[in-house]
Amino acid sequence: MSAAAARAGWTLVALAALVAPVPLGNYGLHLLVLVCMYVALSSSWNILTLAGQLTLGHAGFFGVGAYTSALLALRLGVPFWAGMGAGAVAAAALAGVIGLVCLRLRGVYLAIATLSLVEALKIVVLNVPDVTEGSIGITLSPVFAGARRPAYYVMLAVAALPVLATVWIKRSKLHVILGAIREDEGAAQMAGINTTAYKVFAFALSAAFAGLAGGFYPHYITYIVPDTAFSIGLSIEAQIMPILGGLYTVAGPVVGAVVLTLAGEYLRTRFGAANLLVYGVVMVLAILCLPGGLVGLARRWRAPFRVRRAEQPQEGVADVR
């Protein structure tokens, strides 16, 4: 397919996203808002993996964004859009500080640090109730008086940003640099790349988008407590979605978020209390049978047999080249 055809295709997807809410009621719109929220989380998490880094605490940045935005609204009456921006900045700043310390090292240090970060942030929020309202939580007025359609467009814009950022990275020399760091950090350093600076940049960018999504959440749900803002489950979902969709790709996190959010809701309504069991089995089978994710599966179907065989061992990094 030509680049023009690809552009036309992406334009079609964008148009579909814009007109999707037209026939939907509040239930469908709410699901679309959740889909967009998870697209933002999974795509932003995926940005850091382009540099070969792993964070297990993405919910920490989501929560920082949520609390920054909620507290600004509660204490100073700051409108939600400004709070979202502040949430993104706060999350990026936190990631920058943590990254400067942890990303000088290789290996699993960042993963361990971010895993504990979520719990640490939760404890901090719980223990300064005079500032954060602690475990009582923060109640806010619903954004757009509870109307779902404008909320969807806001979340769609939030979801589009990390996707567009990934496209930008992939078209710039940053893609080559991050790929080099991921494949062999030592060699990248030998080539004169300041690997720490690039990793910190990717980490802060990734956190900023999570913070942005978090900044909208309390205004939409109208109530947050530390347990929901800093939920380990949210971190796990942010990781599983790109893995299922296809790591290191633009489309993978989007596909993963759409499929898993809607499949989760479908199973919840169809299987009652057994929904998590079915969801778990489907997830295990999908990860075992689709090492390149759903995007990898699409590639396999398209590729001639001999090419497919040749590509198989490098499926996870196929898109980097």
Partner 1 sequence: MRELRAVMGAALLALAAMSWGAGPAVAAEDEIRIGAVWGLTGPTAGVSQEGRRGMEMAQELINRKGVLGKKIRVIFEDDKADPAVGVSATEKLITQDKVVAFVGGVGSTICNAMLGAFEKYNPRPIGVLTGCGATTIEQRFGKERGYFFVHPWEYYYQSTMRDFLLSLTPRPQTVFIAHEDRLYGTSHAKMADEYFKEAGFKVVAREGFKSGAPDLTPLLTRAKGMNPDVFYWIAYGADAILITKQGKELGFNPRLYASTVQLGTQEYRDAVGLDNAEAFVGITVWEPNADFAASREWPDLLPSTRDWVREYTARYKREPHYYSIMSYVALVAAAKGIEAAGSLDREKVVAAIEKINTMSPMGPLKFSPSKFAVNHAFKQMMIFQWQKGQKALLFPRDTATGAVRYPFPPWTPR
Residues that bind partner 1 in the complex, under the rule CB under 8 A: 1, 5-6, 9-10, 12-13, 16-17, 20, 24-28, 30-32, 34-35, 37, 126-127, 129, 134-137, 139, 142, 145-147, 221-223, 225-228, 231, 233, 245-246, 249-252, 254-255, 258-259, 262-263, 265-266, 268-270, 272-273, 275-276, 294-295, 298-299, 302, 319
> Which of 52, 11, 69, 29 shows the shortest CA–CA distance to 222?
69
Please state the closest distance from residue 236 (CB atom) to partner 1, in A: 13
- Which amino acid belongs to residue 67? Y
Closer to partner 1 by CB, 94 or 138: give it: 138
User: Measured from the CB atom, is 167 or 191 closer to partner 1?
Assistant: 167
35: which 2 tokens?
């889909």
Asked if 170 contacts 102 with a C-beta cutoff of 8 angstroms, the reply is no
Rank residues 129 and 186 by Cβ distance to partner 1 and give the closer one: 129
Cα distances (Å, whole numbers) of residue 66 to 46, 112, 160, 183, 228: 20, 23, 19, 34, 10
Who's near 102: CB < 8 A, 6+ residues apart? Answer: 109, 110, 113
Please state the closest distance from residue 320 (CB atom) to partner 1, in A: 13
Residue 273 CA to residue 282 CA, distance in Å, equals 16
Count CB-CB contacts under 10 A for residue 93.
15
C-alpha closest to that of 208 among 78, 71, 93: 93
Rounded to a whole number of angstroms, the minimum distance from the CB of residue 218 to partner 1 is 10
Nearest distance in Å: CB 68, partner 1: 19
Q: Name, in order, each residue with C-beta under 8 angstroms of 202's C-beta and a sequence gap of 6 or more.
A: 47, 48, 50, 51, 53, 178
Phi/psi class of residue 134: alpha, beta or left (left: φ > 0; alpha: ψ in -120 to 50)? left
Using the minimum distance from each CB to partner 1, give the nearer residue, 196 or 222.
222
**Maximum CA pair distance of the chain?**
65
Residue closer to partner 1, measured from CB, 93 or 311: 311
In the complex, least distance from residue 95 CB atom to partner 1, rounded to whole angstroms: 24
Is the CB of 197 or the CB of 287 nearer to partner 1?
Answer: 287
What is the smallest separation between the CB atom of 20 and partner 1, expressed in angstroms? 7
Least distance in Å: CB of 121 to partner 1? Answer: 14
Task: Give the nearer residue to partner 1 in terms of CB position, either 96 or 134.
Answer: 134
